[in-house]
Structure 1
């Protein structure tokens, strides 16, 4: 006998699978066409805004958020007193890097910058380094201990 979901069970977002093709149509085609040459900057600031809507308490929470959002596997590469470097990988990222020479990860970069700013309470900015040959993105977040946001 085949198991079915009861009518009163509402699926969570994690239970709904969306083909990556649809995600990429929106991200790489639609948003790029709507936003034009300003797409990278707008997506960076949109990532920061998104992070303010979903404040996270720890680095492990950020890593879990990336996984849940389908943005890829985020890992800490190195930490310093005023900088943290992450790597971001996934089969979808590898595909994007192979198919589109103009791929960027500004949404994710802005999101990380804002999350680190919220957690450190210091102004933070981030940039990405794309490593096409190995299929990963490195995102470096830096902050200045003199630029506290709550004094």
Structure 2
């Protein structure tokens, strides 16, 4: 670790420990597969903690200290979400920060809510905001017969 990376992480509002795990240790272990594994890890966490609404998804992001999540646009083909906050500004300054975990988490939650196959893409804008666009295909419905048991969030 370089001094400048240490200084950046220790002085962040996100927390040195979280940034060390997410943006240094995981990429070191996972290497070139980091983005793909984090995307599927986000989907797995969504399966363990499914929420029933857009508002609950935003609340869950706050509770997980992932940033402030806001639904910007929604139509029958896609949803556009903005992820902002100190966590995003701190992490987006790092060379290898990945927001694929967040994208996978959102994609799976939207899949539960729409019952349509979904995929998400990420765009970091000016190191202040991450835009996650979720594409869903209503012509390709989910055929799993297992009902989703949405969790009730603490407020």
Bigger relative CO (Cα 8 Å, ≥ 6 apart) = 2
Matches within 5 A, 1:2-151: 20-98=15-93, 100-131=94-125, 133=126, 135-150=128-143
SS in 1 for 2:98: coil
Aligned-CA RMSD value: 1.6
For residues 45-104 of structure 1, give each alpha carbon's deviation from its aligned partner in whole angstroms, at most 9, with x where no partner exists. 110111000010101110000000000000011111121000001112111122x13322
| Structure 1: runs of 5+ lacking an equivalent | 1-18
Q: 1:134 to 1:97 in 2, by over 3 A?
A: closer
Q: How many residues align?
A: 132
| Structure 2: runs of 5+ lacking an equivalent | 1-13, 145-155
Dislocated runs of 4+, deviation >2 Å: none
Which structure would you say has the larger Rg? 1
- Calculate the TM-score normalised by the size of structure 2: 0.81
For residues 103-145 of structure 1, give each alpha carbon's deviation from its aligned partner in whole angstroms, at most 9, with x where no partner exists. 22000000000000011111000011111x2510000001111
